[in-house]
Amino acid sequence: MADTTTSLPLAPPGQTPRRVMTIAGSDSGGSAGLQADMRAFAMLGVHGSAALTAVTVQNTLGVKAFHEIPVDVVAGQISAVASDIGIEAAKTGMLASTAIIRAVVATWLAEGLDGTVPLVVDPVCASNVGEPLLHASALDALRDELIPRATLVTPNLDEVRLLVGIDVVDDVTQRDAARALHALGPQWALIKGGHLRTSRISSDLLFDGSEFHEFAAARVDTRHDHGAGDTLAAAITAALAHGRPVPDAVAFGKLWVTECIRGAYPLGHGLGPVNGMVGLHG
Ligand code: PLP
């Protein structure tokens, strides 16, 4: 029977919880990016470590600017954590540039994490109102150097279009996109259908090169969905750190993010966040 719980096993008091890392940008508005990831990790009872890649100057109306962290500092954060604390699963979010993508890949390899630690790549390219969070010139490095190392890649429909040139408009094109994305080399590709606003169901399609798995949830009628993609990928990462198989981890993440979207709230003058603390507050 499918798992319908939105909690993961907790470590006994005083014992080390599962250890996960996010490699992501900061959202000064507190809704998305590293802040959303750490919130999800905390809520799901895993120890979250963080390698900051960029600082966005952002509120609910949009991203005004971003500042990239020097590549040796990005690499240093990952190495410092890997060599001491350890990483049982990781996710990437905003990576901003080719140089940062290359530093992440090189460090991932140098620390012996490749092929041993599950890696979820959320290929963040733009904010949900379209401001770029990745230089256009970095798309090739994302596609050719990072995605092939991913256990799972989790694009939304805009990111799919940029990565494989397919406009997803229905089930057939969603399958085409899953095949094309999987051909880039990740173990699993998840095409998130949440932005397909014509449907009353939010359906995500997972593909491992042979079998399709569909994850559907009733669409929640809200414009406040900032941080949804990050929260989903972070929850999947937490479940992978517990050794859940990818389809189970995705099912878990989908249940978790759907609860968070149901709890979304208005904030500022623009698009509010999903409630990453649903169940604890609201
Ligand atoms: N990471 C950062 C730093 C961001 O600013 C954003 C969006 O603005 C994202 C990731 C992706 O956000 P979402 O989960 O809403 O797709």
pLDDT higher than 50, residue 266: yes
pLDDT tens track for 197-240: 666 788 999 999 999 999 998 889 899 999 999 999 999 999 99
Contact 257, 43 (CB under 8 A): no
Closest ligand 1 atom to 226 CA: 15
How many structural domains is the chain composed of? Answer: 1
pLDDT higher than 80, residue 1: no
pLDDT tens track for 140-162: 999 999 999 999 999 999 999 99
In angstroms, what is the span from residue 143 Cα to ligand 1's centroid?
Answer: 19
The Cα–Cα gap between 42 and 40 comes to 5
128 lines ligand 1 (CB under 6 A): yes
pLDDT higher than 60, residue 3: no
Residue whose CA is at the smallest distance from ligand 1 atom 4 = 33
- C-alpha distances (whole Å) from 33 to each of 129, 196, 197 are 15, 22, 23
Residue 2 belongs to some domain of the structure: no
pLDDT higher than 60, residue 242: yes
pLDDT tens track for 74-119: 999 999 999 999 999 999 999 999 999 999 999 999 999 999 999 9
Q: Which H, E and C letters describe the chain, residue by residue?
A: CCCCCCCCCCCCCCCCCCEEEEEEEEECCCCCHHHHHHHHHHHCCCEEEEEEEEEEEEECCEEEEEEECCHHHHHHHHHHHHHHCCCCEEEECCCECHHHHHHHHHHHHHCCCCCCCCEEECCCCECCCCCECECHHHHHHHHHHHHHHCCEECCCHHHHHHHHCCCCCCHHHHHHHHHHHHCCCCCEEEECCCCCCCCCEEEEEEECCCCEEEEEEECCCCCCCECHHHHHHHHHHHHHHCCCCHHHHHHHHHHHHHHHHHCCCCCCCCCCECCCCCCCCC
Residue 130 belongs to some domain of the structure: yes
Among the ranges given (10-14, 24-28, 179-183, 234-238), the one the predictor scored with the smallest mean pLDDT: 10-14
Residue 14 belongs to some domain of the structure: no
- Stretch 238-253: mean pLDDT: 98
Closest ligand 1 atom to 131 CA: 8
Residue 143 belongs to some domain of the structure: yes
* Predicted local confidence at residue 282, as pLDDT: 67
pTM: 0.96
pLDDT tens track for 177-191: 999 999 999 999 999
The CA radius of gyration of the chain, in Å to the nearest whole number, is: 17
Residue 213 belongs to some domain of the structure: yes
Which amino acid is it at 139?
L
Mean pLDDT in the chain?
95
Q: Which of 199, 202, 90 is nearest to 146 (CA)?
A: 90
Domain, as residue range, for 186:
19-276
In angstroms, what is the span from residue 66 Cα to ligand 1's centroid?
Answer: 12
Which amino acid is it at 34?
L
Q: Any idea what the CATH number is for the domain that residue 36 is in?
A: 3.40.1190.20
Among the ranges given (84-88, 101-105, 120-124, 129-133), the one the predictor scored with the smallest mean pLDDT: 129-133
In angstroms, what is the span from residue 13 Cα to ligand 1's centroid?
Answer: 33
- φ/ψ (deg, to 5) at 51: -110, 110
- Stretch 251-273: mean pLDDT: 97
Residue 84 belongs to some domain of the structure: yes
* Predicted local confidence at residue 190, as pLDDT: 98
Residue 173 belongs to some domain of the structure: yes
Residue 13 belongs to some domain of the structure: no
* Predicted local confidence at residue 269, as pLDDT: 97
